[in-house]
Amino acid sequence: MEYGSLREKIAAEKAERQGRYAKFEAAYAEAYKAGCEAAAACTPTPMVVAERSNPLNDLSAVRQAWHVPEGVCGFAWVKIPKGNSSFARWLAKVSKARKSYYGGFEINIREYGQSMQRKEAHARAMAKVLNEKLGVEAYADSRMD
């Protein structure tokens, strides 16, 4: 494209970048909303944590037990493996993601207390929307605590 001056070129690139960022913001908001809905619809499998009189013997008497209705504890995130993409750079610029130790960026799911199943549901829904709306390679990942 031909520009009359350098100022025109800079202004055109700025307008294009702002349009792209607005598209990213809208897709992120939609993905986040889908994640919240998926987490709300998720029913975690409850667990019981037991303290045994002899911690090295699973057959020893139970001293105390706790019911954990939100299931196992853990973490979940949405992984964006291509850290040099425009979307990944935007995520970092607006502090919605952090650099991953293994490359790319990660969007941490901080809601839902310690419930790994709810966090996973949120991350899967977010990744799906980001894949569909932006064509960004994104997937959910998690780790039990």
Structural domain that includes position 119: 23-43+72-144
**Does the residue 106 lie in any domain?**
yes
**Does the residue 57 lie in any domain?**
no
Domain count of the fold of the chain: 1
Name the phi and psi angles at 87, rounded to 5.
Answer: -65, -45
Summarize pLDDT for 40-98 with one digit per residue, the tens.
999 999 999 999 999 899 899 999 999 999 999 999 999 999 999 999 999 999 999 99
Distance CA 50, CA 10 (A): 64
**Does the residue 67 lie in any domain?**
no
**Does the residue 77 lie in any domain?**
yes
**Does the residue 84 lie in any domain?**
yes
Name the one residue in this structure whose structure tokens are 């709300």: 40
pLDDT of 137 reads 94
Lookup: tokens for 38: 């998926």
CA atoms within 13 A on the CB side of 32: 13
Summarize pLDDT for 89-129 with one digit per residue, the tens.
999 999 999 999 989 999 999 999 999 999 999 999 999 99
Measured from the Cβ of residue 130, the count of other Cβ atoms closer than 10 Å reads 25
